[in-house]
Structure 1
Amino acid sequence: MSWLKEAAGGAAPPKYKDDPNELTEKDPSIPNRYVTNKPANRPFLAYAEYRAQQERLHNEWLKKKKAHDEAIARGEDPGPLEPDPTAVQEVGLGAVLKFLLFALLFTALAGKFVTGSYTWDYDAKWMQLKNWMPRNDRLFSVEYLAKFNGEDPGKPIYLSIDGEVYDVTKGAAYQKGGSYHILAGREGARAFATGCFREHMTHDTRGLDEEERKGLEHWKQFYRDHKTYRYVGRLALPPIDPTKPIPEHCDPKKAELDRERLRKEAEEIRRKRQEELKAKAGRKEL
């Protein structure tokens, strides 16, 4: 029952003492004291040995420096003085850039090994080389743009969306006979918004509802961010005649809904205009 006595605060166990035969190493922090070479002490002993070696090398260098300075004082040419081997080496800009280069190279090779892509399948806009190159803002007329419609094999294929002209030559769908060949060499902002590619090949975006405008912005962003298609310039769009009727949707049901929506919007505009006129007339009477 001795354990019960100790648990209740009985006699303390005997104090641990190292075997005197194992006290072979000098304590680096307390003079005239020896410690054992057990694993817990080895890091401290190794560091003390390192410090002693550094101090010895530094003292040897000081002697060489003194001899070097004395030789110069005597008018002799002792040659260049070797640097202090114990001096702390500062990390320069070159070393930092070298480290970053190796880190980038290692990351790219690891990505190629793991995912098959040097960029780890990361394909953001800024990873595309074309977005780092100066933009070539050529100005196209409607007639000149029409020459890049895929009919001439020696010319690229261009299309325009809301005045932004893109080179889509690498897209098979824009080639002659392709499903999107109707877009080649033409402006079709409204068609991108409504999906009426035969009826709405125009930049007239009057009367588009909110969903259709969002669709147009989606397609514009699609071409801006595309890995293959390249921005080449802008199209000089002719002005829209405000008296000309708004193009009707190719779907009769959607066309009827658009007419009803536009009618309500026109009525709301007239109502607000009448209220403004009445308010102005009331202020004049006052």
Structure 2
Amino acid sequence: MPDFPRRDDYPKVPDPAFPDRMVSTKQANRPFLNYTEYRTKREAEHAAWLERKKERGERLAKGEEVGPEEPDPTEEPEVGCLGLLKFILYATVFALLAGKFITGSFLWEQQLPNFRSGSRSTNQRLFSERMLATFDGSDNAKPIYLAIDGDVYDVSPGRLTYGPGGPYHMFAGKDAARAYGTGCFSTHITHDLRGLSEDELKGVEKWKRFYANGKKYVKVGRVSHPPIDPASPIPEHCDPKKAKARRESHRRMSLRPEAS
């Protein structure tokens, strides 16, 4: 049966805390002994530096030429504000480059928050058609708004698309819900959805979801439209074939006898 407690055959050295006592160099004691040795070495280096600093001061007092003052070799370097700023800068650059390499986007495919629009999202307004028309992008000091089926959105982040000269500038400052369903961008710039087919109404709903669920544009209010006169003519489709088919459909409906 092995001896218990086990015999300690490790060499012994003077205890740093009590020099008159010897202590084993076994594994459990080594971290303490190594730290004590490191601290003793640092104290000796600091004492030697103080002695050199004293000698330098004495030589200066005598008017002798001396070199630059030697820094304390035991002084721990401080990070400081400049070092912290450098670390933040390097970390930011690394994160951006990593995002570009991994996802193809510096922002890791995330969108920057739209602070300009977000600040108005909690204070939604009611617009008249005349007021909405003033946000068509012609005034650079104003955001660009458009409406679809009554809901008004800030599309300022897409100024190149919705601003003057953009491919969809015709939507700016207006509620062109009908054009979203029919694709008649020049003749259906209106909110009048009467007479649209089921597919066309689905197209309008699709675009409504695009603006409502996207992160790029923010809803800022509603537009109040005057009532549409039911007897007013329905805007004719820009496609002659569809316009003809719709006229024939309406004619057949008008000739159908009413149920008794």
Normalised by the length of structure 1, the TM-score is 0.50
Q: Deviations over 1:191-227 (max 9, x none)?
A: 1111111111111111000110011011111111222
Among 136, 141, 146, the alignment partner of 2:133 is 146
- Indicate conservation of the 8 Å contact 1:207/1:262, yes or no: no
How many angstroms apart in 1 are the aligned matches of 2:163 and 2:114?
Answer: 25
Secondary structure (helix, strand or coil) at the match of 2:233 reads coil
How many angstroms apart in 1 are the aligned matches of 2:185 and 2:147?
Answer: 13
What one-letter code is carried by the residue in structure 1 that aligns with 2:207? W
How many angstroms apart in 1 are the aligned matches of 2:198 and 2:255?
Answer: 19
Among 186, 189, 192, the alignment partner of 1:201 is 189
Partner of 1:191: 179
Partner of 2:199: 211
- Indicate conservation of the 8 Å contact 1:135/1:231, yes or no: no
Partner of 1:244: 232
How many angstroms apart in 2 are the aligned matches of 1:114 and 1:253?
Answer: 49
Secondary structure (helix, strand or coil) at the match of 2:170 reads helix
- Indicate conservation of the 8 Å contact 1:166/1:230, yes or no: yes
How many angstroms apart in 1 are the aligned matches of 2:224 and 2:211?
Answer: 19
1:11-160 paired onto structure 2 within 5 Å: 112=99, 114-115=102-103, 121=109, 135-160=122-147
Q: Root-mean-square deviation (CA), in Å?
A: 3.4
| Shift of residue 115, structure 1, vs aligned partner | 3.4
Secondary structure (helix, strand or coil) at the match of 1:241 reads coil
| Shift of residue 136, structure 1, vs aligned partner | 3.1
Specify whether residues 190 and 153 from structure 1 end up closer, same or farther in structure 2 by C-alpha distance, changes over 3 A only: same
Among 240, 244, 259, the alignment partner of 1:256 is 244
| Shift of residue 142, structure 1, vs aligned partner | 0.5
Specify whether residues 169 and 132 from structure 1 end up closer, same or farther in structure 2 by C-alpha distance, changes over 3 A only: closer
How many angstroms apart in 1 are the aligned matches of 2:172 and 2:107?
Answer: 33
How many angstroms apart in 1 are the aligned matches of 2:140 and 2:150?
Answer: 24
How many angstroms apart in 2 are the aligned matches of 1:122 and 1:177?
Answer: 28
Provide structure 2 residue ranges, at least 5 long, that are not aligned to the other structure.
3-94
Specify whether residues 132 and 181 from structure 1 end up closer, same or farther in structure 2 by C-alpha distance, changes over 3 A only: closer
| Shift of residue 152, structure 1, vs aligned partner | 0.9
